[in-house]
Structure 1
Amino acid sequence: MRVLLDTHIYIWRVSRDRRLSAYFRDAIDDAKQVYISAASIWELSIKSARGKLEPDGERAIDELQSQPFIVLPVELKHAKAVRNMPHLHRDPFDRVLVAQALTEDLKLLTADRELREYVRQVVPA
Structure 2
Amino acid sequence: MDLLLDTHVFLWWDAGADPISPAVRAAIAAPENRVYVSAASVWEIAIKSSKGKLAFTGSPSAAVALNNFLPLAIDPVHAERAGGLEWSHPDPFDRMLVAQAQAQNLTLVHADGAIADYKGVAQMWARP
Instruction: Name the TM-score, length of structure 2 as normaliser.
Output: 0.87
Residue 36 (structure 2) aligns with: 35
| Deviation (angstroms), 1:52 | 1.3
| Corresponding position: 1:78 with 2:78 | yes
Equivalent AA in structure 2 for residue 111 of structure 1: A
Question: Following TM superposition, where does structure 1 have runs of at least 4 consecutive aligned residues deviating by more than 6 angstroms?
Answer: none
> Do the aligned residues in 1 keep the contact of 2:6 with 2:37 (CA within 8 Å)?
yes
Task: Structure 2: state its 5+ residue gaps.
Answer: none
Decide whether the 8 Å contact of 1:33 with 1:69 is kept in 2: yes
Shift of 1:45: 0.3
1:45 is aligned to 2:46:
yes
8 Å CA contact 2:36, 2:69 repeated in 1: yes
Please give the secondary structure, in 1, of the residue aligned with 2:35: strand
Q: Which residue of 1 aligns with 2:124?
A: 123
CA 1:3/1:60 → structure 2, altered by over 3 Å: closer, same or farther? Answer: farther
Structure 1 residues 62-95: Cα deviation after superposition (integer angstroms, max 9, x where no partner): 5233120000001100011113312232110010
Count how many residue pairs are aligned between Structure 1 and Structure 2. 123
Q: 8 Å contact 1:7–1:40 — kept in the other structure?
A: yes
Correspondence for 1:21: 21
What SS does structure 2 have at the residue aligned with 1:34?
Answer: strand
Root mean square deviation, CA, Å: 1.6
Deviations 1:10-68 (A, max 9, x none): 011111101111122022123520000000000000011111112xx335725233120
Gap runs ≥5 in structure 1: none
Matched, 1:95 2:101: no
Q: Percent identity?
A: 37
Partner Cα distance (2:85, 2:78) in 1 = 11
